[in-house]
Amino acid sequence: MAKSLPVHTPVETQVVALVGNPNTGKSTVFAALTGIRQRTGNYPGITVEKRSATVSDPERNVRLEIIDLPGTYSLSVHADDEAVVLDALLGTHGMGPRPDVIVAVVDASNLRRNLFFTTQVLELGSPVVVALNMIDIAERAAIDIDVSALSKELGVPVVPIVATKGEGVDGLRDAIAQSTSGESSSRCQSFPDCVCAELDGLCASIAESGDGNPAVSSRAEAIQTLLSPGGYHESRLVKRCGLGLAEELSERRNRITAAGESVVEVEAQVRYAWIDRVLPSVVSHVKRSQRSASEIADGFLTHRVIGLLVLILLMGGCFQSIYAWTTPLMDGIDATFGAVSEVVSNVMPAGALRSLVVNGILAGIGSVLIFLPQILVLFFFLAILEDCGYMARAAFLLDRWMGMLGLNGKSFFPLLSSFACAVPGILAARTIESRRDRMVTIMIAPLMSCSARLPVYALLIAAFVPATQLLGGLVNLQALTLLAMYSVGAIVAVPIALLLKKTVLKGKPQPFLLELPTYKWPSPRTVFLRVYEQGREFCVTAGTIIFAVTVVIWALGYYPRPASIAINHQTQRDSLTEQFQASTTAEEMPPEQFDEFRSAYETQISRLDQSEAGAYLRQSFLGRTGKFFEPLVRPLGWDWRVGTGVIAAFAAREVLVATLGTIYNLGDDQDETSAGLREQMKAATWEDGRPVFNLAVALSIMVFFALCCQCAATLAVIQRETQSWQWPMLAFGYMTGLAYVAALATYQITIRLT
């Protein structure tokens, strides 16, 4: 039934769902249709990312809410993130309204495999538009597609596009706008009679359970339930309709098997048979060139030795660039915040408010924002590697090594993402079908060195690791230390994963099954969007959680301010001034001697100021807590201020830098805010005058942060993903213990070697 809308009615928002196989450039199509107006959220109850954007198109008189669904090879699924797709397309299980149009993104150079999923989508009873993406790559591979013939066979509009270049996107918009009031697709594959009978019977049973879905949805759901034993839809439907359905399903499957059909293969046989019948009239290989560029590249890049070497060089190059490219930017940000602080210090009267603004807010935000460049560059590299198709090769190459941990290559994506942030990494673990592999991946993901640790590393490395050039200037010792810090978590993860597999997570490993997509040039738009999203997220985090924590920490370190300290120090100051005045005015003295006296006097006064600030901080709420824990952290070479910083960074690691900034600013001369945290840390001393920080202490702090699980967001996501408190508690417990022991060992060993 066509829904015909009068032209002048106010436009209703139409829901457009974007689906497709992984690596079809779906996100690029989404970006091409929506620009950067997208918002991300979660599907209700589960943590699969929901990306959507509302686009007004007055030219075509439509308003569209475009939803980007996770990439999937089939509607029958065993992993949670793919399960979202069928629910969202049918509008079932609280996944929002049924879409008005489904856009199936298809990789033109891999038509046969992509059409399998397309034929499933055509049976859902919604209008469908096929976006034939990467048509340029297909042309280069000498694949010639007759678009109108394909459209006729599928019974829906087919629009050839090159999403990376924006080619054909207007045509796609036209087709979507026309389809919002168009016919639903009606191309259904006919299954063998014995299967059809069982499908009809199952549809009737589902209808009796009374969930009120239209019959055609029930058929799609029935196919995915009946023909995918043990799959997601079966377990959920059984939950909904009771155990009677489980028995019914097994009887129906037995009858299909008895009739000589394979339950798990029949759907693929029917669909691929149809595709193989249709394709010859649609696709012609002009000539099969000897080997495509992609195949030639894979000859090297998937090679066990050469490929692995390239992978290591690539990763090393990325980290070196992160360090080298961002230094000037970071210095710029540092200088800007220093200048702003100085202006504010001069403008505002001394007191609690100025201290809050300069030492709390500006110092806190500045010391976090300074790491934005590094985070952006890291995501820039990750986005490029992912968009060009290299990531799948990395997973392929590393599967053998991941296998030694009892994991498979698919754990590589989540773990690699965790180098940026454990939260998306843990979410990405949803693509791992085996619960056991998934749990192990989730438990070791926080060990990967995330971007929140980068501020800690960057600060300490710049301040305490000499910038020695090694190998004739090829490698910088600072960059090498950074690489070591990035590696330590990953290396420790190996025995941890094995231990988990032997103890709390016993079972069989899941087999490796992964498509390697055709290489393509990364789309600048997709890369830009990834980087922009991550940067924005980081800034929002810095601007909210970290900001709030910063202000609280500042308050804890500023209050209480007993008058006795001020009075005591003022008395000493007054007596010093009296002495100075008495001794300089009592008799005529030569100017040189006067200067000597005055500088001695000024030194004493500034020492008094510091001692006053120190006295305030020591008896502040924060200082008392840190002092309390000092005996515990002293073997790691830390003083109570570092201990205090670590406690304050419980919720988020990057807070350590902000906290240290606050503590050291408060503990120093109030007017010297522009000196920078680095210098202030170098100047910090124990009571006996030894500097607090040296290489051993810096390394010990870095190792602690490399291995600890000081991140409230990570713990919350683990809780949500595992639906239990045991796992996040285990993660926090084992990581904190590990971090403490490793930091202790690092300090004790380094102090003896240096």
Partner 1 sequence: MTSEPIQLATLSRGENATVIEITAGEATAKRLADLGFVRGGHVEMIRTGRPCLVRIGTACIGLGLEIQQVILLQRDNTIGRTAVVLGETT
Site residues (vs partner 1, CB under 8 A): 73-74, 76, 78, 109-113, 116, 227-231, 263-265, 267-269, 272, 295, 298, 302, 304, 392, 395-396, 399-400, 403, 408-409, 433, 509, 511-518
Beta-carbon contacts of residue 93 (< 8 Å; ≥ 6 apart): 87, 236
Shortest gap between Cβ of 309 and partner 1 (angstroms)? 16
What CA–CA distance (Å, rounded) separates 559 from 617?
Answer: 8
Q: Which of residues 39 and 304 has its CB atom nearest to partner 1 in the complex?
A: 304
- From the list 246, 128, 235, 112, the residue with the least C-alpha distance to 178 is 128
**Minimum distance from CB of 549 to partner 1 (Å)?**
44
d(CA 419, CA 452): 9
**Alpha carbon distance 640, 628 (integer Å):** 8
Nearer to partner 1, 134 or 163 (CB): 134
Nearest-approach distance from CB 512 to partner 1, in angstroms: 3
Is the Cα torsion angle 712, 716, 721, 727 positive or negative in sign? positive
* Burial class of residue 582, CB neighbours in 10 A (0-12, 13-18, 19+): exposed
Phi-psi region of 186 (alpha: psi -120 to 50; beta: other; left: phi over 0): alpha
Nearest distance from residue 117's CB to partner 1, in Å?
Answer: 8
Closest separation between CB of residue 198 and partner 1, Å? Answer: 16
Minimum distance, C-beta of residue 409 to partner 1, in the bound complex (Å): 7
Q: Which is nearer to partner 1, 265 or 595 (CB)?
A: 265
State how far Cα 51 lies from the chain centre: 14
Residue 249 and residue 233: Cα distance in Å, rounded?
Answer: 12
Residue (of 477, 462, 357) closest to 676 by Cα position: 462
The amino acid occupying position 529 is: L
Min dist. Cβ of residue 236 to partner 1 (A): 15
Minimum distance from residue 273 beta carbon to partner 1 (Å): 9
DSSP 685: B
- Strand 158-160 versus strand 49-57 pairing type: unpaired
Closest CA to 516 of 107, 74, 142: 107
CA-based max dimension of the chain: 120
| Nearest distance, CB of residue 364 and partner 1, angstroms | 46
Rounded to the nearest whole angstrom, what is the least distance from the CB of residue 265 to partner 1 in the complex?
A: 5
Residue type, 383: A
How large is the angle between the packed helices 621-633 and 591-619, nearest 10 degrees?
80
Q: Are 245 and 237 in contact (CB under 8 A)?
A: yes
DSSP assignment of 121-175 equals HGGGSS-EEEEEE-HHHHHHTTEEE-HHHHHHHHTS-EEE-BTTTTBTHHHHHHH
Residues 437 and 408 sit within 8 Å (Cβ to Cβ): yes
By C-beta, is 229 or 495 nearer to partner 1? 229
Distance CA 415, CA 716 (A): 18
Nearer to partner 1, 99 or 409 (CB): 409
Is the Cβ of residue 223 or residue 357 nearer to partner 1 in the bound state?
223
424 touches 430 (CB < 8 A): no
- Give the integer Cα–Cα distance in Å for 519 and 141: 12
Nearer to partner 1, 39 or 287 (CB): 287
Q: Which is nearer to partner 1, 147 or 462 (CB)?
A: 147
299/332 with CB nearer partner 1: 299
Name the phi and psi angles at 736, rounded to 5: -65, -45
| Least distance from partner 1 to the Cβ atom of residue 275, Å | 9
Task: Report the nearest approach of partner 1 to the CB of residue 496 (Å).
Answer: 22
What does the DSSP 8-state code read for residue 1?
-
Count other Cβ atoms within 10 Å, centred on residue 7. 6
CA distance linking residue 259 with residue 265, whole number of Å: 14
Residue 73 or residue 325: which is nearer to partner 1 going by CB? 73
Between CA 217 and CA 224, with CA 219 as vertex, the angle to 5 degrees is 100
What SS3 state is found at 423? helix
What is the C-alpha separation between 190 and 24, in angstroms, rounded? 27
Residue 469 structure tokens: 């050039």
Q: In angstroms, rounded to a whole number, what is the distance separating the alpha carbons of residues 580 and 149?
A: 99
Q: Give least dist CB 108 to partner 1, A.
A: 10
Q: What distance in Å separates the CA atoms of residue 616 and residue 554, rounded to the nearest whole number?
A: 12
Output the smallest distance, CB 78 to partner 1, in A.
5
Closest separation between CB of residue 113 and partner 1, Å? 5
Q: Taking the complex as a whole, how short is the minimal distance between the CB of residue 204 and partner 1, in angstroms?
A: 24
What is each CA distance from 688 to 7, 197, 308, 604, in whole angstroms? Answer: 84, 88, 51, 17
Q: CA geometry: angle at 249 spanning 245 and 250, to 5°? A: 120
Whether 142 and 198 have beta carbons less than 8 Å apart is answered as no
User: At closest approach, how far in Å is the CB of 28 from partner 1?
Assistant: 19
Choose between 65 and 123: whose C-beta lies nearer to partner 1: 123
Q: Report the residue number, 381 or 519, with the smaller CB distance to partner 1.
A: 519
Task: Pick the closer one to partner 1 by CB: 275 or 479.
Answer: 275
Decide: residue 161, CB within 10 A, 0-12 exposed, 13-18 middle, 19+ buried: buried
Q: Which is nearer to partner 1, 24 or 418 (CB)?
A: 24
Nearest residue (CB) to partner 1, 121 versus 369: 121
54 vs 302 by CB, closer to partner 1: 302
Nearer to partner 1, 80 or 668 (CB): 80
